[in-house]
Amino acid sequence: MVVGLLDLLNEKTIRLDAEAADWPESVRLAGTLLVDIGAVSPSYVDAMVRVVEELGPYMVVAPGIALAHARPEDGVKRMCMSLVSLASPVEFGSEANDPVDLVFAFGAVDKNAHIEVLKDLATFLQHKEAVVVLRCCKSASEVARLIEKYSEYKEGQA
């Protein structure tokens, strides 16, 4: 079964206009959404923070966008993704892409299971207008409609 963005991002895994004092808190907010749905253990959230501390801000993948993750063995129970939009951006230490106001977190059960959903996310994020609208969304249902719109766009262009 192929899992898409709309299978993972929903009312329980999206938090909009959140407050975070710094990047570790932003990662923890996104990770806690995954803990709350039973998809990862709390140790996975700690591991996501540790990865940035050890390897630097490589997970800041585009201007204002971070994709927090750790290794499957750090506590992933099932494939998952969350999104936190921040009321005030935070610095991760990425010269090219700070400050960050959109924090996605994901967990994969192995090194291959998540490839399709990450392709979907990358395709969605390539649409600059979609990212602009995403930053203005006020509800998880608005986010879902936006993803659906750009997923249809992608399929129509194939």
The residues that are catalytic are 69
Rg (CA), the chain: 14
- Cα 100 from Cα 3, distance rounded (Å): 26
- Cα 48 from Cα 26, distance rounded (Å): 11
- Cα 44 from Cα 101, distance rounded (Å): 21
Look-up of token digits 């990770």: 31
Nearest residue to 9 via CA among 150, 131, 101, 104: 104
Per DSSP, the residues of 20-83 read -SSHHHHHHHHHHHHHHTTSB-HHHHHHHHHHHHHH-STTEEETTEEEE---GGGTB-S-EEEE
Per the CB < 8 A criterion, the answer to whether 52 and 26 are in contact is: no
